[in-house]
Chain A
Amino acid sequence: ELKVEQNPLFLSMQEGKNYTIYCNYSTTSDRLYWYRQDPGKSLESLFVLLSNGAVKQEGRLMASLDTKARLSTLHITAAVHDLSATYFCAVEGKNFGNEKLTFGTGTRLTIIP
């Protein structure tokens, strides 16, 4: 059974600082996603990582994937208040396409002015 762990669960950081959220998963997977969720809202797709060594960046967020270590990171650079949200990683099953997503526990990020 695929298990996905995120840490930390809660993260409070000051504006302007850098930090990293970690996502570990237990079995081989073809795709890893990062989603953002604001309170009471749906899941917004941020990144899809498809291969070992994949790195994607959008604004102050950068995601990377190491399939050998079964680890993905979401790095936040020079945090701003608008980035406050809960971030989930989700791993797709081994068969490429049409596979359910298994989600991590989420990291609730709070940016303090």
Chain B
Amino acid sequence: EPEVTQTPSHQVTQMGQEVILRCVPISNHLYFYWYRQILGQKVEFLVSFYNNEISEKSEIFDDQFSVERPDGSNFTLKIRSTKLEDSAMYFCASPRTVTDTQYFGPGTRLTVL
């Protein structure tokens, strides 16, 4: 499978701090997604991003969240002021084409203390 990489693999932060999670999709991909999975629960959609714009976002994706592609390769998810309930695995996903499978990165485990 094509490789989508994510950094860091694990992030520990204090409540109220800002975190930035990074995703490096396969080159030339245009569509990007962020999902999260609270421990032991199902995977939930956060936001989709196409052509440098958000195309859809969920109710979870409130004003504390933002996404951008600052340098044309990395794709970042920022949480401005983390809450305890933001503790989860965050997955980046990206298909090769609009009709392709969404391939998931290895995830970032975010722990908010």
Contacts and interface: CB of A to CB of B under 8 A. Distances in A.
A17 interface: no
Nearest to B102: A101
A43 B43 contact: yes
Interface in B45-74: 45, 48, 50, 55-56, 58
A40 to B, nearest CB: 8
Chain B contact residues: helix, strand, loop or mixed = strand
B106 A100 contact: no
A25 interface: no
Contacts, number: 51
Contact of A45 (B43, B45, B101): B101
Interface of A: 33, 35, 41-45, 48, 88, 90, 96-98, 100-106
A42 B104 contact: yes
Interface size class of B (residues with CB under 8 A): 20 to 34
A100 B1 contact: no
A7 to B, nearest CB: 13
B104 A88 contact: no
Contacts of A43: 43, 91, 104
Contact of A104 (B31, B35, B42, B58): B42
B18 interface: no
